[in-house]
Amino acid sequence: AQTVTQSQPEMSVQEAETVTLSCTYDTSENNYYLFWYKQPPSRQMILVIRQEAYKQQNATENRFSVNFQKAAKSFSLKISDSQLGDTAMYFCALARGNTGKLIFGQGTTLQVKP
């Protein structure tokens, strides 16, 4: 069975600071994708960043980067220069191949404080 665990229910960070959200997962697959989705109060699910398991290089998207440790099955999200608009719930997710069946973690609520 595939599982995704986010052990931090809530986090807070000061504006302009850096914060790291943790995620661990378990899968027996070799071909899989990992994602971080953001859900602001508006409820919309927005893709933040994605990582293919076969790529060793960590994905980056502007202020967002991941630390992908395949052997440890860890996929943390680092947000640099945090902005008030980053306040949201963040979900880590795992998909086997291109099935589109996402297994989500429990979510981490991030509060960016001015």
* Residue ranges that bind other proteins, judged by CB under 8 A: 33, 35, 37, 39, 42-47, 50, 52, 89, 91, 95, 97-102, 104, 106-107
Of the pair 43, 85, the CB lying nearest other proteins is at 43
Give min distance, CB of 48 to other proteins, in A: 11
- Dist. CA 29–CA 2, nearest whole Å: 9
Give min distance, CB of 16 to other proteins, in A: 27
- List CB contacts of 39: < 8 A, sequence separation 6 or more: 45, 46, 88, 89, 90, 91, 107
Give min distance, CB of 29 to other proteins, in A: 12
Q: Which amino acid is at 99?
A: T
Q: Which residue do the tokens 């991030």 mark?
A: 110
